Amino acid sequence: MTDGAGIPLAQVIDEANRHDVKLLSATLDGVLIQRPEPDGERLEQLCLDAAYDSTPVYKERVARHYWPHVRSRGQERLEKEILPGYRARR
């Protein structure tokens, strides 16, 4: 897990064949900086890819007061159809 500038905030080490979704809780628990207390007005941002587009992950994010930014499955394909010259941001 990194911040917007790519600086590591947390890491979890596990087997290579373990799916990232199964490590979400451990990764969020391992964040080394203290987060501000949630005040209802401003939530911490959490950007995830389509692999994290599931109900259990959504509940985990909400319980931890993160504002979710998750690209839903098929969204990139739709943007390619709608926007001429669209390229994925990677």
Query: Residue 48 belongs to what domain range?
Result: 20-82
Question: CA 6, 50, 18: angle at the middle one, nearest 5?
Answer: 75
pTM listed for this prediction: 0.66
d(CA 32, CA 85) in angstroms, rounded, equals: 40
Q: Which pLDDT score, from 0 to 100, does residue 2 have?
A: 76
Closest CA to 50 of 32, 29, 71: 71
Instruction: With respect to residue 88, please indicate whether it lies within any of the assigned structural domains.
Output: no
Q: What is the mean pLDDT of residues 6-26?
A: 85
pLDDT (tens digit, 9 = 90+) per residue, 54-90? 888 888 888 888 887 887 767 777 777 777 776 666 5
Count up the domains in the chain and report the number: 1
Q: Torsions phi, psi of 67, nearest 5?
A: -85, 120
Is residue 9 included in any domain, yes or no? no
Among the listed residues 63, 53, 55, the one whose alpha carbon sits nearest the alpha carbon of residue 25: 63
For residue 1, being part of any structural domain is answered with no
Does residue 47 lie in a domain region?
Answer: yes
17-50 residue pLDDT tens: 888 888 888 888 888 888 777 777 777 888 888 8
Question: Do 53 and 31 form a contact (C-beta atoms < 8 A)?
Answer: no
Residue 64 lies in a domain: yes
Which two three-digit tokens encode residue 48?
A: 């995830």
Q: Which two tokens stand for residue 25?
A: 């809780």
In a domain, 45, yes or no: yes
